[in-house]
Amino acid sequence: MFIHRLKNPQSYLVVFLFLLLLSWYGLFLIHRIDLAAADLGRHLKNGQILVENFSLDSPVLKTNFYSYTEPDYPTINHHWLSGVIFFLVFRSAGFVGLHLFFIGLSFLAFWLFFRVARKETNLGLAVILSLLIIPLIAERIELRPEVFSYVFAGFFLNLLWSWRQGFLSWRWLLLLPLIEVFWVNLHLYFILGPVLVGVFLLESLLISARRRYFLKLSSLFLLVVLSTLINPFGIEGASAPFNIFQNYGYRLLENQSVWFLEKLGFIINPNFLLFKIVLLVLVLSFLAVLKIAPRKISLVNLCFALGFGLAGFLAIRNFTIFGLFSLPLIAANLKVIKEGNFFPERVRLDFLSLSFRSLLIVLGSTMVVLLIFNHSSRISVPPRLGLGVLAGNSSAADFFREQDLKGPIFNNYDIGGYLIFYLFPRERVFVDNRPEAYSLDFFQKKYIPFQEDENEWRRGEEKYGFNAIFFSHRDATPWGQEFLVKRIKDPSWAVVYFDSYGIVFLKVNELNRNVIGQYEIPKEVFGVIKSP
């Protein structure tokens, strides 16, 4: 069937344009992995521990397992299954295979949303919209469990949309509770499953023409909600999306809004402007439909636009999910606009006509050039271009192990996952990149004060007996940079290792005397000569 269909010249064009879109998306995705600034190391260690010795009572599921500061602090490892899948792929195919796996899932997620967009409008408009939106979708290119959420959200949308359009029978929707069982154990965005079904349920309640489906959708909604209980934590796991931010003692960049970050002045991201453009296009498309055919405004689409638009407005971590949903939403509105004769007859061009294809080539080429120019800082270039881990990314950890260095380690937030991957269980971390896994007091009375206040640092040294400091020197927090300067000036600490990703200090004592004597880097190298 597929071969037969490809005999149609337009089918070749479809394949070619879609591969072109994937290539455009791929330019953002083929960034080598930097474990020193990512969560991936911890996910892989989670997977390793659970694969080798799975138990519902495993401390890796329910406690702050990797930390020596608050090892028994209760927390929910809500993405534990992602770690298992990542580890199994990594064990079979290494970092390159894992990276390809992630890119494949990202392409699948994009295709699921592109599929709806293309059916809502036509190939040409879907391609032009995709060219514009792909850089926004590519905001989250780090290997994270949320990629499963993008895929599952795409499956939910496709099944619900196809059923609503009459392309699928009701029985296909019974797959959704099964998908939700996996989703709830893979990533916190599993809450989108009940939300997506709930929006269609709301439509059946409010729109008389859809009311005959209310009982079926109510049953489906209940099944999807009940499916969220099938996780190692029961009701606590199902309610995690509502509770996780109650214990965030550390402000994350990704959880801030565009307008807040722009006010800071030093964070430059071309997607800030692109988000505003896409949001404006989405709003204008709804206003155009309201003007020419108000009765054709889809309640489902309006709810999705409001919900995901608000999500993107509140936090840049939601740019990807906003971009994915905005693609079919704008496409659906363009379909109504086209059918409503919003444009004059002379500009209504058929997709198969030479004039439209020429216009598509010109618009597409212009858009790609402008987007590449605007997003050049985000598109892969050497040495980041490629698959797998960045060259030399493990060198700092290798040095620590080869020299048989000892903790306790004082480390910063960003590098926690890296240390867990390379040094656990030999060494535990002071902190890692999970704000919910540590108490509010830990961040507000220990982690940040230790770096800002020398008296607090001395108290921390006395309490924990730090023997090593392992930091990502790219830490952009003001307290992180201030702390590094103070430690370089501090005669009781010596820098023994430095590279593009990390810096290692050792306490000047008898235990470290030989390593310091052999590897100490003079303070003058860092431009710090005077004592504080």
pLDDT digits (tens, 9 = 90+) for 504-532: 999 999 899 999 989 888 888 886 544 44
Of the pLDDT bands very low, low, confident and very high (cuts 50, 70, 90), residue 379 is: low
Whole-model pTM: value is: 0.88
pLDDT value at 224 more than 60: yes
The phi-psi region of residue 234 (left if phi > 0; otherwise alpha if psi is between -120 and 50; otherwise beta) is: left
Q: Could you give the angle at the alpha carbon of 412 between the alpha carbons of 407 and 413, nearest 5°? A: 125
> What value does the mean pLDDT take over residues 466-476?
87
478 is written with which tokens? Answer: 């003001």
Looking at the chain, the whole-number percentage of residues with pLDDT higher than 90 is 48
Question: At 383, phi and psi to the nearest 5?
Answer: -90, 0
pLDDT value at 335 more than 60: yes
Is residue 145 within 8 A of residue 187, CB to CB? The reply is: yes
> What value does the mean pLDDT take over residues 9-29?
80
pLDDT at 297: 86
State the first-to-last Cα distance of the chain, in angstroms, to the nearest integer: 76
CB count, 10 Å around CB of 153?
24
- d(CA 21, CA 18) in angstroms, rounded, equals 5
Q: Could you give the angle at the alpha carbon of 147 between the alpha carbons of 183 and 277, nearest 5°? A: 120
Question: At 522, phi and psi to the nearest 5?
Answer: -55, 145
The more confidently predicted of residues 375 and 172 is: 172
pLDDT at 121: 84
pLDDT at 4: 46
DSSP H or E segment with residue 505: strand 503-507
Question: At 462, phi and psi to the nearest 5?
Answer: -65, -40
Is residue 328 within 8 A of residue 268, CB to CB? The reply is: no
| Cα 338 to chain centroid, rounded | 35
Whole-number Cα distances in Å, 138 to 17, 28, 314, 324: 18, 6, 18, 10
pLDDT at 474: 80
- Which candidate, 482, 483, 508, places its Cα nearest to that of 495? 508
pLDDT at 480: 82
195 is written with which tokens? Answer: 């939300």
pLDDT value at 346 more than 70: no
The more confidently predicted of residues 235 and 241 is: 235
Is residue 173 within 8 A of residue 222, CB to CB? The reply is: no
Sequence-ordered list of residues with C-beta below 8 angstroms from that of 450, at least 6 positions apart, any chain: 410, 456, 457, 460, 483
Q: How confident is the model over 274-300, as pLDDT tens digits?
A: 889 899 999 999 998 888 888 888 899
Cα four-point dihedral sign 108, 150, 321, 327: positive
Whole-number Cα distances in Å, 31 to 102, 141, 382, 388: 12, 8, 9, 8
**Quick one: 47 exposed, middle or buried, by C-beta within 10 A (0-12, 13-18, 19+)?**
buried
339 is written with which tokens? Answer: 């059918």
pLDDT, mean over the chain = 86
pLDDT value at 221 more than 50: yes
The more confidently predicted of residues 35 and 8 is: 35
Looking at the chain, the whole-number percentage of residues with pLDDT higher than 70 is 87
Whole-number Cα distances in Å, 57 to 46, 51, 513: 14, 14, 42
- Which candidate, 425, 449, 441, 421, places its Cα nearest to that of 433? 421
Q: How confident is the model over 389-420, as pLDDT tens digits?
A: 888 899 999 999 999 999 899 999 889 999 99
Of the pLDDT bands very low, low, confident and very high (cuts 50, 70, 90), residue 93 is: very high
Of the pLDDT bands very low, low, confident and very high (cuts 50, 70, 90), residue 9 is: low
pLDDT at 422: 94
pLDDT at 348: 46
pLDDT value at 142 more than 80: yes
